[in-house]
A and B are shown apart, each in its own frame.
Chain A
Amino acid sequence: MSLNKSNLQAKLESGKFAVTAEAGPPRGAKPEVMRAKAKILKGCVDACNVTDNQTSVVRMCSLAACKILRDEGLDAVMQMVCRDRNRIAAQSDILGAAALGISNLLCLSGDHQIFGDHPQAKNVFDLDSIQLLKIARQMRDEAKFAGGKDVDGRPDLFLGAAANPFADPFRVQVPRLAKKVAAGAQFIQTQCVFNLDKFIEFMKGVRDRGLHEKTFILAGITPIKSLPMAEYMATKVAGMDVPAALLERIKGVEKKKQKQEGIKIAVETIHKLKEIEGVRGIHIMAIEWEEVVPEIVQQANLQPKTA
């Protein structure tokens, strides 16, 4: 439906395997931080996600950080959470982003504010991620706001959502993905995959319902930086599934070489993910370790065409 397709949309629709990465905005007003991340990622990813106050910690807004990436020649995916904005602000930000040429929109519920640096904050959740997807699609396809009035100049949007095959209860994760696809999700970025068996089971459910033909699924990858990081993800982060065998593997490597082992695991996982029918790309979430992305992309023989 979009007239101007984003680099990411064009790449996925061409049938090629896509690569996206994630860049967290700074905790301050320094644009050079985003520019430096853009320089690292340019040429090795098809698009770069910008997180929206992830883990409820205040950072530069996703919209501004996306604009900086675009100015550096990167296609940006604006993440938008429902925690901090009502339907008025959400639609306004979508129009603003589209006006600046940012058309990839990842619709998320958002982490609860209790995890961040302002746990006393009031959360909004006027909408949830599925309702946000539907509203964004309606703005694009019907030129109508949620309230029913006309949009004067519909936004070009390539709409995405998250899926977490490792969240509970497992039995609703495929139906939940189906809801997101029905609401307008054209691409999906998944939670990081450490438990391949479970991901394979999830993807079978996805294929059984033909969802892989209705949306582009990008499997999440997070390179493990150290044993404490892996242990933290395994025990402290809900919705993360780090198998004991993986922890043992990291444990078996001397501390100095754990980073390299993390990269090796990431590359091995990517090779396996590429073999799964319905996986159309990889989404690399190297948390505050963006500089590792080019190495992973190169080692995994992912050679995307860039913007």
Chain B
Amino acid sequence: MIVGDQKPIEEIMSYLEGYERILLAGCHGCVTVCSAGGQKEVDLLAGMIELGRRRRRQACNITKITLERQCDPEFLTDLLAKAKENDVILSMACGAGVQLVAEKAESLKVFPAINTNFIGAVQEKGLWTERCQACGDCKLSLTGGICPVTRCAKSLLNGPCGGSRNGFCEIDPATPCGWQLIIDRLEATGCMDQYEMILEPADWSKSRDGGPRKYLREDLK
């Protein structure tokens, strides 16, 4: 899933300065699963904004809505209808959702309420960790199912570097060394012979470096 977390309330309040009618939009997708921008977080953030405005003796009128998905025009109809009665949209979706809403919101400003951080998994309850950088050329078949691009702080395809210590990365003693994880998996699956295969330089044109990417399915058009 896409993992995000809410921006500091001061930053959010600064965006909303001068706007009275605020449309606060959550999303039932990834940001609900990672507890950053679902229905519950919409209610909590609305309360905080109202409190902040009361303290400053400023009026505000918040309309709350949580969409099935903000990253799909199919689900934007209700939001766009309500947009007409508001001065600003504050989106709690990921960056994709915020942008699609902005594209459709005509003259209305759209601000993000969360920082979109990474594509990750639930490590344990309340802890999400990054697993994929969407490089567009998946190498997991060669590295024991552990991604060196994401899990190694230097994205080394032929690691580890000299900074691996007791299974952890030198940049942070709480971050596992991605290459230690890869080596452990290669050993567990009886594939250590793969370790000495030199991985060639990546084709980053398939990643963001090649420009904004698209995925077209003619059969679904």
Chain A residues close to B by CB (< 8 Å)? 82-83, 87, 109-112, 114-115, 123, 125-131, 134-135, 146, 162, 164, 167-169, 171-172, 175-176, 178-179, 182-183, 191, 238-239
Contacts and interface: CB of A to CB of B under 8 A. Distances in A.
B177 interface: yes
B204 to A, nearest CB: 7
Contacts, number: 87
B62 interface: no
Contacts of A162: 162
B161 interface: yes
B198 A130 contact: yes
Contact of B170 (A83, A130, A134, A239): A239
Given A125-B155, A175-B195, A179-B158, A168 B167 contact: yes
B163 A238 contact: yes
Given A126-B204, A127-B201, A179-B196, 5 more contacts: A131-B158, A162-B162, A169-B180, A191-B162, A239-B164
Interface string B121-160: 0000000000000000000000000000000011111111
5 contacts: A112-B163, A125-B156, A126-B204, A169-B164, A239-B170
A82 B170 CA distance: 17
A278 to B, nearest CB: 20
A172 B183 contact: yes
A167 B158 contact: no
Interface residues of B, number: 28
- Tell me the interface secondary structure of chain B in the complex: loop
Given A172-B183, A238-B164, A112 B158 contact: no
A134 B198 contact: yes
B196 A178 contact: yes
A238 B200 CA distance: 27
A115 B183 CA distance: 25
A87 B180 contact: no
B54 interface: no
Contacts of B158: 128-131, 179
B161 A109 contact: yes
B165 interface: yes
Given A134-B198, A146-B201, A238-B165, A114 B171 contact: yes
Contacts of B189: none
5 closest A-B pairs by CB: A238-B170, A164-B162, A239-B162, A130-B158, A238-B165
Interface in B189-216: 195-196, 198-202, 204
Given A112-B170, A238-B170, A128 B196 contact: no
Nearest to B187: A171
B162 A128 contact: no
B14 interface: no
Contacts of B195: 172, 175
A32 B176 CA distance: 43
B107 interface: no
A128 B159 contact: yes
Interface string B163-182: 11111001100000100100
Contacts of B171: 112, 114-115
Given A112-B170, A131-B200, A172-B183, A167 B162 contact: yes
B173 to A, nearest CB: 9
A126 B204 CA distance: 8
Nearest to B202: A126
A179 B159 CA distance: 10
A240 to B, nearest CB: 9
